[in-house]
Structure 1
Amino acid sequence: MILRQLRRQQVLSVHQLVDMFGCSHMTIRRDIAVLEKEGRAYSVAGGVRIASPVATEPSHQSKAVAEMPHKHAMAKRAATLLRPNMTLYLDAGTSTLALVPHIRALSGMTVVTNDFSIVMALADADEVDVIHTGGQLDHPNRSGVGELAAATLSRIATDIAFMSTASWDLQRGITTPAAAKVAVKRAAMDGASKRVLVATSSKYGTFGMYKIAPLGDFDLIVTDTGLAEGAAAGVAQLGIELAMVAPEPV
């Protein structure tokens, strides 16, 4: 009944649901937790919402100023996987860009990426080998996309692929509203021995038109402590390692 109401109104408060169904706050919150664990609805402050579509992805410029303390904390956690002499894929995004200082601290590293901002961040790092995928330029995201970029990645094997996404949830996995990104992301994941999703909790419970991969394709998901308890439980049920990190105090 909660889902039926959410399909009509998208977002409902706990108080509204209590009034609708004449039951306790505890019952409503327990049912919301069940729906969240199943990936069918998502908690918001004081209520619940249904999964919301993403029509366009934010630009690099807007992402570069959003949630940066969370992204640096996530990068620090993801960097615990790094060892000297690795070949890494860094997907386009500011969460993956935050890994660059950790990579520069190690010897013998090779970075494969479709992100021009990551290439520029490594341009003066003579100790790091850098391979850009090429491909069609996605101007807002400063990245290479399309079949040409995917063809480059199909010929490269990496130790770890650090993937980003603008939308993720339990039911659909990682998705995108941009068709040109699908082949690139799939090729990067196919060529990696280990796959790590690095994504903030604010992107959880949203979806784009094009499916890229189910969450079960990842070995590790690194996100922030804003991920709701029910969602975390749902990820754990898939058998995926989940790391939830908090920003370091200033």
Structure 2
Amino acid sequence: MSLAGEERKKIILDRLNGNGKVKTSELVETLQVSSETIRRYLEELERDNRLKRVYGGAIKTGYDQEEPSHLTREVAHADEKKRIARTAANLVQDNDVLLIDDGTTTMHMLPYLRSRKNLCLITISVPALNLLLEYQNQGLWSGDVYFLGGKVQARHFRSVGMHAERMMTDFFIDKSFLAIDGVQLEYGISSYDAEKALLARRFIENAKETIVLSDHSKIGVSTFYKVADLRETEIVVSDVHPPEEWANKLEATGVNWIVAE
């Protein structure tokens, strides 16, 4: 393919990463080529597993309407999640009160927190609770642990619902580490699950600082339930830089985007 063709495909991917989807008609106007040429680019990118074609355009690979199970999420992008978790853990200081959301990325933070002193940790994650109890019984963790009890979602190994929300009203936290399902510039951060989204809003409201953990597969994606606008968070930790067209808006809203090393 010509250099111009490769540059056009890069533009398509940049727009896809920023918006989660692209429309053939808009790409025809932007790139000033025929719809047949756009379809050929999309076919080639789909063969490379860079996107998924749909009627009228394309969406990001992995863009779905149902939240994968905890066991499925556990193995997806594992290396990237570990790097994100290590970088996020560096934001924690001694004596912090933390909310550790459920999720496989936040779960990876726990080994890096064992050296911190006098932490208080609140979670809805059953695997996180089990690991912390194991650390305590082995003498590897000396901080306090609180579990927000509520309706148990067995597929996701977490508690949600009104009882967990009521319990959360009694806690005020220094840092809330959120695991989200999608992050999009205009729509904000989102979740597949309504009860989880409502609880996550409470996490943000009761925190001095909100840190969003997001690997590249969630950038540009908007799932079913909105949690909050990006401007309601302080930090995003990801394995990649934000799309170029997000830069000015992120700066204007004061969101600090940290790329994990």
For residues 223-238 of structure 1, what are the structure 2 equivalents within 5 Å?
223-225=238-240, 227-232=242-247, 234-238=249-253
Question: If the length of structure 1 is used for normalisation, what is the TM-score?
Answer: 0.78
Looking at structure 2, the residues matched to 139 and 86 of structure 1 have their Cα atoms a distance apart, in angstroms, of: 30
- Cα distance in 2 for partners of 1:90, 1:54 equals 25
In structure 2, distance between residues paired with 1:100 and 1:9? 46
Give the 3 Å change call, closer, same or farther, for CA 49–224 of structure 1 in structure 2: farther
Q: Measured at CA, do residues 14 and 231 of structure 1 come closer, stay the same or move farther in structure 2, by a change above 3 Å?
A: farther
Q: Does 1:129 align with 2:151?
A: no
Q: Give the letter aligned to residue 235 of structure 2.
A: L
> Using a 3 Å threshold, how does the CA distance of structure 1 residues 131 and 234 change in structure 2: closer, same or farther?
same
The offset of 1:239, in angstroms, is 2.2
Please name the residue that 1:145 is paired with. 160
Identity %: 24
In the alignment, is residue 210 of structure 1 matched against residue 225 of structure 2?
yes
Q: Which has the higher helix share?
A: 2
Unaligned runs of 5+ in 1: 23-43
1:102-140 per-residue CA deviation (whole Å, 9 max, x = no partner) reads 211111111100000100111123212110101101111
Q: Alignment RMSD, CA only?
A: 3.2
SS at 1:212 equivalent = strand
Report the counterpart of residue 104 of structure 2 in structure 1: 94
- Cα–Cα, structure 1 residues 21 and 101, in superposed 2: closer, same or farther, change >3 Å? same
**What is the TM-score with the length of structure 2 in the denominator?**
0.75
- 2:132 and 2:59 map into 1 onto residues whose CA distance is 40
How far the C-alpha of 1:17 sits from its partner, in A, is: 6.0
In the other structure, the counterpart of 2:73 is 63
**Structure 2 counterpart SS, 1:216:** helix
In structure 2, relative to structure 1, the CA distance for the partners of 1:58 and 1:14 (3 Å cut) is: farther
How far does the alpha carbon of each residue in 1:51-71 deviate from its partner, in whole angstroms, 9 at most, with x for none?
A: 896421111101111111111
State yes or no: 1:74 paired with 2:80. no
1:14, CA displacement in angstroms? 11
| SS of equivalent to 1:57 | coil
Q: Aligned pairs, how many?
A: 221
Secondary structure of the residue that 1:174 maps to in structure 2?
A: strand
Distance 1:70 1:14 in 2: 35
Question: Aligned partners of 2:253, 2:150: CA distance in 1, in Å?
Answer: 34
The one-letter code of the counterpart of 1:169 is: Q
Q: For residues 84-123 of structure 1, what are the structure 2 equivalents within 5 Å?
A: 84-123=94-133
C-alpha contact 1:236 1:242 (8 A) present in aligned 2: no
